[in-house]
Amino acid sequence: MKFEIIVSLFATMIISAVLTPFIRRFAFKIGAVDKPNRRRVNKIPMPTLGGLAIFIAFTFSTMFLLRDQMPTQQLWGLFGGECIIVAEGMIDDVYELKPHQKVIGQLLAALEVYFIAEVRMRYITLPFIGTWHLGLLALPITLLWIVAIINAINLIDGLDGLATGVSIIALTTTGITGLFFLNVANTWVAIMIFALVAAMVGFLPYNFFPARIYLGDTGAQFIGFMIACFSLYGLKNVTFISVIIPVIILGVPITDTVYAMIRRILNRQPISHADKHHLHHRLMQLGLTHRQTVLVIYGIALIFSFIALLYPLSTIWGSVLLTVAIMIGLELFVEAIGLVGSNRQPLLHWIKRIVKQFTSKTSD
């Protein structure tokens, strides 16, 4: 059985790789093309819609190659939500939807999986506090989680291969933690995760720098949607450990999204306002090349993933201390690269003052 699964995953990767050139030509025909402008990094028109190849390969894999591994209700429930988010993404890639129109599509997909596939949070167990049953709050919290993760992945899709590679790292780590550490969900969830990873690996050679096709909103939103759903299967009955692990695994997109919101609020701009101050923009502005920036962010994503693997091995106090250390280290990194602004470095300024006072006392 394990051999059959491995063969099916390999076939999924091949299907995605074979489909991508055809999707590329299809994107040009229907006008799903990313044209150069002051916010884009591409210098020539680039076909989007690459996520359609991932979606088709993943769907063929789960519906046919791995069908015996999947429970019917969850499989079809997820498929309904996938179709909604992919359809909305395709429309956006061709016609460029407004932010609120995108959110409507995302909410429809989230509602579908909430009621049909039972993708939801039910209650939270926190250390030293106890269990909190969400009750009526289960629906809004679940919808918020799904929409937030979709847009977090969509926001980092700014360089060749960036969102694809970071998502591969995040999903692989999610699958590993689910199988070997948390026993978060049934085996079928991990199999679906690795099927999606296989489809993305088949697509990545076409998407990595220099890219021949982009994920587009079709791909970025589909991947974000699936990451959110997979993580929620492990968050039905939430503990401190099970809620922090997916957050750490998704450290790169979540960090970029949170600090983008903070930056825009401080600059008195709408949260949906687009700018060129995201993580990848800042690294390139500091002198890194396109390829170097992508590889550095891959490295940061791997660091987050390795840290996430430490949580199941830690005590509660160890996990708390680890979380505090991550937050401090992350804030120092964010301030060092000027993600919120070069003049907004409170922690660095405080450390410099402490060091200056210490050195002045030492010299006296």
Annotated binding site: 154, 217
| CA triple 274-280-282, angle to 5 deg | 85
Distance of alpha carbon 247 from alpha carbon 327, whole angstroms: 12
Distance of alpha carbon 260 from alpha carbon 253, whole angstroms: 10
Task: Please give the order of strands across the beta sheet that includes 123-126.
Answer: 130-133, 123-126, 237-239
> Other CB atoms closer than 10 Å to residue 344's CB: what's the count?
15
List residues forming the annotated binding site for Mg(2+).
154, 217
Distance of alpha carbon 189 from alpha carbon 44, whole angstroms: 39
Q: Give the 3-state secondary structure of residue 212.
A: coil
- Nearest CA to 226 among 310, 306, 179, 163? 163
Residue 132 backbone dihedrals phi, psi, to 5 degrees: -120, 110
Q: Which two tokens stand for residue 102?
A: 């995108």
Query: What count of Cα atoms within 13 Å lies in the side-chain half-sphere of residue 93?
Result: 33
Residue 67 backbone dihedrals phi, psi, to 5 degrees: -55, -40
